[in-house]
Structure 1
């Protein structure tokens, strides 16, 4: 947080980074245009130099590490991603700071786990503690920090992990309050109250609208990612220039609409305070979705949570302006809709209704409107989770072939290589050489580097009790038989992994 503010102040010259877009309006046009492009160029240099795929790491990689890597997050690419996100957010990239925070804390936890030679359970617990402390410190939200770590990163609520994660979240919040004071992220001007219980159906409708907006935001980012990749290939654009081009597009958009610059706290606060009219809320929400898609599709760095808060607050304000105008006699404040919309869109993006509901309360200090927020959040999450793979992060992983959204039964098979389960051809339980050769001729074989995720469908198709394990070569003799994979051995390994996962989740 401090690093972003210091660098942002140095680049833009503002003495209050939380009012960045108002200050940007006073800057020369060429500086507004060029600065994000320069930041993007530096990001491109960092990522192409220190990552194998020129891609920023974020919460998705932390979730993957929790599920499949015993809580270990890669360090080299992680450090480059943190630096890239710092530069992106400081130079005007339209994203959020929670993604880098989650990845940075996860990377620290992985380093500690390696130093302690921790097992998988302990590694995941340390990962949850680190993420909880980071989120709590970043947003001054200890309750949400603890639940975010369990709901989003660990993806289960185990009793044995709750105490250390809660203590870590409290510690992170204490450090934050000692450094920045005991203040909420957004200050509301008025107390939001529900007009009457008859108003609750409006929040059900707001939840549906927010769920669709959340899906639109997520799919826009993925569409921008695919379009940018296709355009990069068509133009033979070096990976180092991709973030720079995205930064230039952001700068051009910011010339007319500086509200899209940076995290967007000023615009979010204006929405929660009711300082925007209907058409402004709609236009700013649409432009923010476009800006976030350009930033993340261009691989500039940063997270999606803060942009989701801004888009949600604008969506809720627009909805509230219409609702209170049509039914003024039974409506509360339109800012209540902004607050509920902020939580509903963010919850749909994160796939985390519990922690998002709490973080909205802790960010605003408004605990009196829980009924409206809970209704909107629950409806939004129920809808959006059916239109994507549970959440933005899990959909990211699904697009890379990592199937965490379906649960342990889907991803555990990918954790075991055939080489760790196979038996040698001369093992007493191995089938005869003739049977193995017939299996090879029928294409019922796998390579030692394959995983059980590839092997199990072959067992299903053949209805056999083994697969040949071969090394493919160019020789005239065909594939070289290295061993066999018995169906019973594959099932035994899979069942043990499922049992261990269930035991951890219910401990």
Structure 2
């Protein structure tokens, strides 16, 4: 047992450092495996649920009329009962909520919201709501990985890294896109690039991709699309498509946010029933409106050059996706915009090809470009959009045209319309804080155990003469006094010489508070920044006495290093 405790402390001390260590890499792989396994179960449940409801073609053939109408309504009733049973005060899930928790709570997610996300996501996708599975995947991946870290007593700075690992592994396990998964974590969730985080995230993404390949095979989600090289003469059309996609992304975002704004004061059951009823009526009128966004691609391929059908499909997907996501159906946004982008690109290609050019635009290639462009315009993550399409298509020939479609789409959204990422806009509407001061960002990366003074002097109710002797002989050591009150409770004070007392040996006593050994320097800053002096003591779980001390001077020096 003592050896196990010593090993645990050694591991925790390594994890507290803001550097790439073997410990964080191994833990990242473990967290990635846990996240990937959860996603495997999630995917299996969706597939089996489809067969249970009789959806053997996965939305490629219309279900009976009554089934199409009843599925969304029945699903929202079950989702509401699930949310009610979990007794969650507020139902918040998906990528925006994970971004909020990463910034405010080191990526740790409440178990109730995770249970809601797991079962709610399965029900929504089985019922045919026009949402993606990447939103639930991000939430579930972060929850699974941080659960691993929490149960091995990991410092909070490492918990945050583990959350990023879980997200990368979950996305890689969902779509077999490990590179795009890594970049999405850095661009969308963390919104920063740090090597000491990037390495374990990379390993976790590899673990997620390998697991999904072993279980589901190496096939890509977009295997039906065959990308080919775009001739230079057609690159102007690529840029034109990017402009169209920029406007399309802004329109979809505005539509979805308007829905959110309209229903934000409604009760949960009212919102869910509206979403179910609108989806059900759409399903009767336009059966192809059912299903996640990626299923729209197969519909597009079946109806090439049929403009009336493609326009109808675009209308259906815009409304169905905006309603489902805006009213709180527990699904993802990226899959939905992929479907919309594919339909927009199919329409663009069909219209241009009707002009009877010397070289017709290649249908499959432009659909892939449509997905890349609208993703960049919607979530403002151009690198993630580029790599996602390259990996999903298994084609390097698409890189240059994808860049040319992403740039105008992104610029129109961000510059012409001064639009934020759709995830950030969702956070603003939900009043969820996602911005923290640069000081907190810098100090969150370091655990207190990495910098705390372990060789301090702890004296229990000493006399003044004893204190003077210790201060005289302790050189640069910190001296802490412990007092016991009448209720047998301990309190601690930092003791220093009172510099303003002149030649007389007067002492200065300053009460200090305690923080857990898993805390970060950001929490020490919160305690001490008001007075700009003093210290906090650090305590381990299950121990009554301090195991370390962190002074204001230590925090100040650490901040200088991080910001330099």
Question: Which TM class, normalised by the smaller chain length?
Answer: 0.7 to 0.9
In structure 2, C-alpha distance between the alignment counterparts of 1:316 and 1:264, rounded to whole Å: 14
Distance 1:186 1:64 in 2: 31
Work out the CA distance in 2 between the residues paired with 1:366 and 1:323: 24
Match of 1:4 in 2: 46
Unaligned runs of 5+ in 2: 1-42, 445-528, 534-551
How far has the Cα of 1:394 moved from its partner?
1.4
Shift of residue 39, structure 1, vs aligned partner:
0.3
| Alignment-derived partner of residue 61 in structure 2 | 22
The equivalent residue for 1:421 is none
In structure 2, the residue matched to 1:206 is: 241
After superposition, residues 253-332 of structure 1 pair within 5 angstroms as 253-271=282-300, 275-326=304-355, 328-329=357-358, 331-332=360-361
CA distance in 1, matches of 2:89, 2:241: 39
1:93 Cα offset (Å): 1.4
- Superposed counterparts of 1:496-507, under 5 Å: 503=562
CA gap 1:364/1:269 in 2 versus in 1, 3 angstroms: farther
Q: How does 1:23-422 map to 2 (within 5 A)?
A: 23-24=62-63, 27=64, 29-50=65-86, 52-188=88-224, 190-195=226-231, 197-229=232-264, 232=266, 238-271=267-300, 275-326=304-355, 328-329=357-358, 331-386=360-415, 387=417, 390-402=420-432, 404=434, 408-409=437-438
Kept in 2: contact 1:346–1:356 (CA 8 A): yes
Greater Cα radius of gyration, structure 1 or 2: 2
Deviates more, 1:220-229 or 1:124-133: 220-229
Preserved CA contact (<8 Å) 1:316 1:337: yes
How far did residue 187 of structure 1 move?
A: 2.3
* 8 Å Cα contact 2:50/2:56 also seen in 1: no
CA 1:401–1:228 in 2, change beyond 3 Å: closer, same or farther? closer
Residue 184 of structure 1 aligns to a residue whose secondary structure is coil
CA distance in 1, matches of 2:72, 2:439: 41
Instruction: State the TM-score, normalized to the length of structure 1.
Output: 0.75
Tell me by how many angstroms 1:241 deviates. 4.2
Q: Report the CA distance between 1:341 and its aligned residue.
A: 0.9
The structural deviation recorded for 1:497 is: 10
State the Cα deviation string for residues 2-33 of structure 1 (Å, max 9, x = none): 1111112102x13332xx14142xx1x22211
Q: 1:93 to 1:329 in 2, by over 3 A?
A: same
Q: Tell me: CA distance 1:498–1:55, structure 2 relative to 1, closer, same or farther (3 Å).
A: farther
- How many Å apart are 1:72 and its aligned residue? 1.1
Alignment-derived partner of residue 440 in structure 1: none
- Paired with 1:287 and 1:254, the residues of 2 have a C-alpha distance of 9
Return the alpha-carbon distance in structure 2 between the equivalents of residues 362 and 317 of structure 1.
21
- C-alpha separation in 2, matches of 1:149 and 1:61: 14
Deviations 1:153-175 (A, max 9, x none): 12112111222111111111111
Check the 8 A contact 2:303/2:310 in 1, yes or no.
no
Deviation at 1:383, TM superposition (A): 2.5
TM-score by length of 2: 0.68
Deviations 1:129-167 (A, max 9, x none): 111111001001111112222222121121112221111
Task: Return the offset for 1:244.
Answer: 2.7
* Alignment partners' CA distance in 1, 2:164 and 2:70: 39
Q: Deviations over 1:320-358 (max 9, x none)?
A: 222333371255314322211111112222221112211
Higher percent of residues as helix: 1
Distance 1:280 1:156 in 2: 42
Give a deviation string over 1:427-457, Cα, whole Å, max 9, x none: xxxxxxxxxxxxxxxxxxxxxxxxxxxxxxx
Taking the aligned partners of 1:402 and 1:55, their CA distance within structure 2 comes to 13
CA distance in 1, matches of 2:191, 2:137: 18
CA distance in structure 2 between the partners assigned to 1:337 and 1:408 by the alignment:
42
Moved more, 114-123 or 47-56: 47-56
> Between Structure 1 and Structure 2, how many residues are aligned?
424
CA distance, structure 2, for counterparts of residue 296 and residue 282 of structure 1: 21
Which whole-Å deviations, capped at 9, do the CAs of 1:102-150 have from their partners, x for residues lacking one?
Answer: 0011111222232233333311211111111110010011111122222
Q: Quick check: 1:403–1:410 contact (8 Å CA) kept in 2?
A: no
Matching of residues 460-475 of structure 1 within 5 Å:
none
Compute the RMSD of aligned alpha carbons: 3.4
Contact 1:48 1:240 in 2 (8 A): no
- Higher alpha-carbon deviation: 41-50 or 81-90: 41-50
Give the Cα separation in 2 of the matches to 1:276 and 1:326.
Answer: 12
Distance 1:318 1:56, change over 3 A: same
Asked if the contact 2:169–2:208 (Cα under 8 Å) also holds between the matched residues in 1, the reply is yes
